Amino acid sequence: MPTPRFLTLDDVAETLNVSWSQAYALVRRKELIAIQIGGRGQWRVEVDELERFIQQKYAEARAGAAPAEPAADGPAQPAEPEGAEVTPSTGARRRR
């Protein structure tokens, strides 16, 4: 039997290990593209679309996990809040 082209939201929820309502929320927010089929408007997600969604989420996770690169002329120093000064002996900040 050939691999099905479309998945139900139950299938999507099982694949992503989330609840049906969480899968439906992804569709409603248009994060996961789906179509409605039939008179009762059953949602269907194409297998390739689910794979694209998963790969997109991995790309977002990689981009968010990348460390910030230091400036070309040395490591960046955190900005001091207005009215604060650093105590030389401990490096602690205190309000003036």
Residue 91 domain-assigned (yes or no): no
Gap between the Cα atoms of 1 and 4, Å rounded: 9
Residue 16 domain-assigned (yes or no): yes
Q: Fill in the amino acid letter for 47.
A: V
**Residue 91 has which token pair?**
């490096």
Residue 88 domain-assigned (yes or no): no
**Residue 61 has which token pair?**
């996770």
CATH, residue 1: 1.10.1660
Gap between the Cα atoms of 63 and 16, Å rounded: 21
pTM (2 d.p.)? 0.63
**Structural domain boundaries enclosing 59:** 1-64
Q: Which residues pair with 42 in a beta bridge?
A: 37
What is the per-residue pLDDT across 14-72, written as a single tens digit (0 to 9) for each? Answer: 999 999 999 999 999 999 999 999 888 899 999 999 999 999 999 999 998 655 555 55
Gap between the Cα atoms of 69 and 71, Å rounded: 7
